[in-house]
Amino acid sequence: MQHTGGGVQTQLKTGTILDRIVEARRGAVEHRKQVVPLPVLKMAVKRNEPPRDFAAVLSRNALNVIAELKKASPSRGLLREDFPVEALAASLEQAGAAALSVLTEEQFFQGALVNLTSARKKTMLPVLRKDFIFDAWQVWEARAAEADSFLLIAAILDDSLLRDLLALGRELGMEALVEVHTREELRRALDAGARIAGVNNRDLRTFEVRVESSVELIQEVPEECLAVSESGLRTHADLVRLRAAGFDAFLVGEQLMTAENPAASLRVLLERPA
C-alpha cells in the first residue's frame, strides 16, 4: 500500500474548539513536513526497535489504566506547572499504569513529541501518541519518535482516511486507538476496522463531560474490539462500574495531572497499597 503525506479531510467545520485546534494543527504539520521530509522519518523508523504491544496490555484481566501526561488543556488551561516527564512516567509505571498516553500537541495542550520519547525511555510501558492526526506523515512521525500507538479521532476524519491511517499504523506495527463520542462515530470506526475503540466522555466540540456516554455506547462495541473509556474518570468506583459494563481499559489524565502526587492518585484509583 502506498502512503504519501496524505491530505487533510475533516468533517464539516462548525467553528468549535475542535475545529480551531485542527486548523492550527494543519498549519503546524505543513511546516514540519518541509523541515522533516517523509524519507527522513522512514529512515528513523527503520533504525527503531519494534513497537511495544499496546493492545496486549489493554487485554489483561485487570483495571487497565492508560495514564496520560498532559500539561495543559483548552478547557482548563495549565494543569501542572511542574512537569518532569521522565520522573512522572517512571512513577506512574511503578504505581500500576498499564500504558502511557502523552500529549504532543504544542499550542493548546503545551505538549511536545520529545516528551513521548523521553517518557518511553524511562519505562517499559507501551506509549500512545495523543494528538490530532489526519495525515500519513504524522503516523510516520509518531513511529519515528518511538510511539507504540496513536490516537485517531473519528470526528475529524472521513471514512477513507480513517481506514488508510489505521492500515498504515498496522504496517508500522502500531494498533491505533480510535476515539468516538457518538453511536454514528462508533459505527464508522468499526466499519473502518478499528480494533481499539475509545469512548470519549468529553464532547470535543463543547468540552462537556458525561461519563454516561461510555455506559450508553458500550453495548455497541463488539466482543472482539477492545473498549476504552476516556475522560471524567475520578474514582475507583468509576473504574469498577465501567469494567463491569464491559470496558477493557480507562484513559485518565486530568485526575492524575492535577493531583499533588500523580502516582499516589493512580494508586488510589486502582486501590493499590502505597
Of the candidates 101, 149, 200, 265, the residue annotated as catalytic is 200
Of the candidates 101, 115, 231, 265, the residue annotated as catalytic is 231
68 annotated active-site = yes
Q: Report the C-alpha gap between 194 and 187 in whole angstroms.
A: 10
Which segments of 192-235 does DSSP mark as H helices, in order?
212-217
Q: Report the C-alpha gap between 18 and 191 in whole angstroms.
A: 23
91 annotated active-site = no
Contacts of residue 246, defined as CB under 8 A and 6 or more positions apart, other chains included, come to 218, 219, 221, 227
Of the candidates 93, 105, 175, 230, the residue annotated as catalytic is 230
75 annotated active-site = no
Of the candidates 93, 115, 130, 214, the residue annotated as catalytic is 130
- Phi–psi pair at 168, nearest 5 degrees: -65, -40
Of the candidates 179, 201, 214, 229, the residue annotated as catalytic is 179
Reduced to 3 states, what is the DSSP secondary structure of residue 233?
A: coil
The H-or-E segment that residue 34 falls in is helix 17-35
Amino acid at 120: R
231 annotated active-site = yes
Closest among 123, 21, 130 to 71, alpha carbons compared: 130
Q: Report the C-alpha gap between 59 and 53 in whole angstroms.
A: 10
130 annotated active-site = yes
Of the candidates 70, 115, 141, 214, the residue annotated as catalytic is 70
Of the candidates 68, 105, 175, 185, the residue annotated as catalytic is 68
179 annotated active-site = yes
Separation in Å, CA 61 to CA 70, 117, 136, 184, 226 = 27, 28, 33, 29, 12
Closest among 154, 163, 74, 156 to 111, alpha carbons compared: 74
Reduced to 3 states, what is the DSSP secondary structure of residue 144?
A: helix
Cα-Cα end-to-end distance for the chain: 49
Which residues does the annotation mark as catalytic?
A: 68, 70, 130, 179, 200, 230-231
